[in-house]
Amino acid sequence: MREIVFDTETTGTNPAGGDRMVEIGCIEMVNRCETGRTFHAYFNPQRPMPSEAEAVHGLSTIFLSDKPLFGDKTDELLDFVGDAPLIAHNATFDFGFLNAELERCGRDPVCLSRMVCTLMMARARHPGAKHSLDALCSRFGVDRSQRVKHGALLDAQLLAQVYVELTGGRQIGLGLIAETTAAATAMEVIRNATQRPVRPARPHSASPDEQARHAQFVAALKDPLWNRLQTSACLSAS
C-alpha cells in the first residue's frame, strides 16, 4: 500500500484570511516502509513573512523571494502524491492550506477521505498524554536531535517514523526474519545442551544418620502429625 506522509510550513494559521503555504515536504511509504522517494519545495507566498511565523520555521521574506510560486510546482506535486492517502499531524491544518493553494490555481481540492491524521491517532491511543510531534518522538524513541526549527521535509521524515509506531511498530513485515532468528537461537540452545558433560545422578534418599536424627526429632514432639501419616500409610499398604 502506497502512502504519502507530508508536512507544510506557512505564513500563519488562516488560509481563508490570506495566509499562504511556503514549504511542503512529502515522504513516500509503501507498506509503511520509506522508499527513499521524497518531494520538497519552497514557495514564494507573495506577501511578507510575519515575525511570529518566521520564529517557528526560520523562513524569511528575503529567503522566499526568489522561490517559485505554488502554481509553478503544482503538477510536480500532484504527480508525486498521486491518489495515495495523505498522512499529516493535525491534518486538517495541512489539508486546509494545501486545498487553499490548489483552489488559487484553479485545481480540484484533495478529497478529505484521503486524510489520515496522526494527531487523532495519538489522542485515541494515548488519551491525556502530550501529542505534539516532539512528544511523540520522545515516546517512541525517534531521534529528533536535528530538529532545531520546524522544517517540512524533516518533520515529515520524523512523522513517518512516528506513524509506523502508531500503526504497529518497527517490526512490520519482518516476521520471516524474526522466525529465522528464533529458530537459530533454539538450535544454538540444543547444540549447547548436547555438548555439556554427562554427570552421574545425585542421590536423593536420606542417609541412615539423617533418618536417625529425624526419628529423634519426631520423638520429642507432642502427638506429631508425622506419626499419624506413617500409621495411615502402613494401614493403606496392608
DSSP 174-208: -HHHHHHHHHHHHHHHHHHHHTSPP-PPPP-SPPH
DSSP alpha helices (H): ranges in 85-207?
A: 91-104, 118-125, 133-140, 152-166, 175-194
Query: Which amino acid, residue 211?
Result: Q
Active site residue 150: yes
User: Residue with C-alpha cell 521524497?
Assistant: 38
Sheet with 115-117: list strands edge to edge: 33-42, 21-30, 2-10, 86-88, 115-117
Q: Name residues whose C-beta falls within 8 Å of residue 207's C-beta, 6 or more positions apart in sequence.
A: none
DSSP 3-19: EEEEEEEESSS-GGGT-
How far is residue 41 from each of residues 74, 101, 105, 162, measured CA to CA in Å?
A: 10, 14, 17, 22
Of these residues, 89, 131, 150, 204, which one is catalytic?
150
Contact status, residue 84 vs residue 4, Cβ threshold 8 Å: yes
Residues annotated as part of the active site: 150
